[in-house]
């Protein structure tokens, strides 16, 4: 099998697996359904991944890599850094109100589910979150240096707070099936990032 075909099949399995996990969770995603949807013969899964857990790690790494690229594009903008942060959260809140659900957020969908099941997947989630927090930290540092915002704690701690606040509000929005938790979280972010 050529490297390009192997890579394409592996990528297809990961993409379909992500969609199935978003629908059913990680434990609810059956390998037979995954292989059927990917048109990959049964038994071929282990040519690409040593286990379902290894598949889960690869899927999370792929997902967080895409999130990181998307965030870097979003935050690489001429818009002032404080406003970039506010716009980032505002558009996520608005998207929930438009669609009625948290879209394509694998971290929200499977974090609680897999952290006790797989140490490797827990580490992948932790590393993915750390990469997002690093981008938020960089943006907050710039906002402080440019005199746009007054923080009551170091940028690193504020970035962690913002990430945790939004993740919690996203989970609560899934539970309540309304966007009020995101709306409250956004109001809290406005208070946490006061203009200088």
Tokens encoding 18: 């992500």
Domain shared by 74 and 116, yes or no:
yes
Tell me: pLDDT of 1 over 70.
no
Tokens encoding 125: 């989630």
Q: Give the domain CATH number at 58.
A: 1.10.357.10
What pLDDT is recorded for position 188? 97
Tell me: pLDDT of 2 over 70.
no
Q: How far apart are CA 73 and CA 70, in angstroms?
A: 5
Tokens encoding 52: 């379902």
The pLDDT tens digits of the residues spanning 7-41 come to 689 999 999 999 999 999 999 999 999 999 999 98
- 5 falls in which pLDDT band (50, 70, 90)? low
What pLDDT is recorded for position 86? 97
Domain shared by 70 and 131, yes or no:
yes
Domain shared by 13 and 103, yes or no:
no
The pLDDT tens digits of the residues spanning 135-183 come to 999 999 999 999 999 999 999 999 999 999 999 999 898 888 888 999 9
Domain shared by 40 and 75, yes or no:
no
Q: How many domains does the chain have?
A: 2
Q: How far apart are CA 48 and CA 35, in angstroms?
A: 12
Tell me: pLDDT of 96 over 60.
yes
- Mean pLDDT of all residues in the chain? 91
Domain shared by 68 and 164, yes or no:
yes
Across 49-78, average pLDDT: 95
Domain shared by 86 and 141, yes or no:
yes
What pLDDT is recorded for position 43? 80
Q: How far apart are CA 100 and CA 177, in angstroms?
A: 7
DSSP 111-167: HHHHTTT-HHHHHHHHHHHHHHHHHHHHHHHHHHHTT-B--SS-HHHHHHHHHHHHH
């Amino acid at each position: 099998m050529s490297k390009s075909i192997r890579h394409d099949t592996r990528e297809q399995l990961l993409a379909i697996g992500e969609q199935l996990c978003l629908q059913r969770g990680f434990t609810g995603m059956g390998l037979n359904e995954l292989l059927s949807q990917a048109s990959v013969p049964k038994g071929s899964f282990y040519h690409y991944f040593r286990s379902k857990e290894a598949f889960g790690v690869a899927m999370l790494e792929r997902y967080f890599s895409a999130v990181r690229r998307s965030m870097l594009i979003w935050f690489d903008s001429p818009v002032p850094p404080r406003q970039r942060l506010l716009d980032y959260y505002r558009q996520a809140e608005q998207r929930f109100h438009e669609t009625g659900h948290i879209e394509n957020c694998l971290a929200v969908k499977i974090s609680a589910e897999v952290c006790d099941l797989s140490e490797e997947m827990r580490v992948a989630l932790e590393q993915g979150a750390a990469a997002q927090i690093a981008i938020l930290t960089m943006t907050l540092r710039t906002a402080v240096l440019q005199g746009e915002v007054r923080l009551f704690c170091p940028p690193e701690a504020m970035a962690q707070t913002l990430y945790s606040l939004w993740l919690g509000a996203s989970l609560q929005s899934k539970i309540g099936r309304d966007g009020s938790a995101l709306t409250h979280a956004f109001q809290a972010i406005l208070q946490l990032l006061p203009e200088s």
